Amino acid sequence: MVELSVDPSGRNAAVGYAGDTLNTAIYLKRNLGAEGEVFFTSVLGQDQFSDWMLNYIENEDINSTTISKHASLLPGIYSISKNDDGDRTFTYWRENSAARTLFQSSDKTIDFKFLEEMDVVYFSAITLAILPEHVVKAFFDWLKVFRANGGKVAFDSNYRPRLWQSRQQALDLVEEAWQLTDIAVPSIDDEMELFEDQDEDALVQRFQSYNISDVLIKRGDRGPIALINGQMLYPDIDFPAARNVVDTTAAGDSFNGGFLASFLSGAAIEQSMLAGHNMAMKVIAHQGAIIDKSHM
């Protein structure tokens, strides 16, 4: 989406490009470097902002060949503003964005062929929320075949209530997504809000019931906890606390990128957990979802 960072006067804004899956893709590629290829899949428009966004994505060395352009629809927009206490307010305009037509051709055919050559497919609950439910169901069916053929699925349940018709719809689809996941990277706050777990132990027990091989539960500056094949991992890691919190935008997304880059490259789970945590600590010390490469 197009990101507008509005100044306190409300009359000026810096333009950027972000979105949860794009944020993760960028930090994944930055941490992978030449060791892996990252594709980003979406639908943009034929407008100048879409051209600028595509150029931005390509400048991050992300493969854009799976991005298509809609004939008439435009990208979504969101704004970020802060009050006097520093609390952020988000405003979205994405009800008719081009991204909502992802996986759908002009004749309403649903197609996932361009994902078949991937080793890992990563998506979030925001992906599910913006797509028509019949497309989500078809995507789930495709994921079953993809996994049966050796592909891996990574998922983050970014829960944004305003995107869903109801909490029950979100709960049903997110729970179904967990059943199709190999690498889970949920945030504890999102999960507890959506599923109304009584406490952290209840949340852990629920994830143990999903039969996911690798679960990383993000807990902010407390650091993540891991479930490996259902067993709790208690790593001997001193997760550093944030010393300077400027903007928590993309904290979870950057963790995902840092963790996945390390984990998919074959690093030990403890090392990968720390890589994700450290990446998030760097990001929240700077303004905006995507920090300058010099801060990496």
Question: In angstroms, what CA-CA distances link 133 with 5, 84, 101, 111, 270?
Answer: 31, 40, 12, 15, 37
Place of tokens 């966004």: 53
Torsion of CA 214, 280, 222, 153, to 10 degrees: -10
Q: Any idea which residue has 């998922």 for tokens?
A: 155
How far are the Cα atoms of 94, 126, 249 from residue 190, in angstroms, in the given order? 21, 12, 14
Task: For residues 280 and 250, give the distance between their C-alpha atoms in angstroms, rounded to a whole number.
Answer: 8
| Closest by CA position to 60, among listed 29, 18, 86 | 29
Q: What angle do CA 9, 13, 14 make, to 5 degrees?
A: 145
Catalytic residue among 156, 190, 214, 253: 253
CA angle 47, 8, 254 (to 5 degrees): 60
What do you get for the CA distance between the two ends of the chain, in Å?
Answer: 23
Helices and strands (H, E) in the chain, number of each type: 9, 12
Rg (CA), the chain: 18
The answer to whether 253 is a known catalytic residue is yes
Query: How does DSSP assign 117-147, residue by residue?
Result: T-SEEEEEHHHHHHS-HHHHHHHHHHHHHHH
Pairing label, strands 13-17, 2-6: antiparallel
Please list the active-site residues. Answer: 253
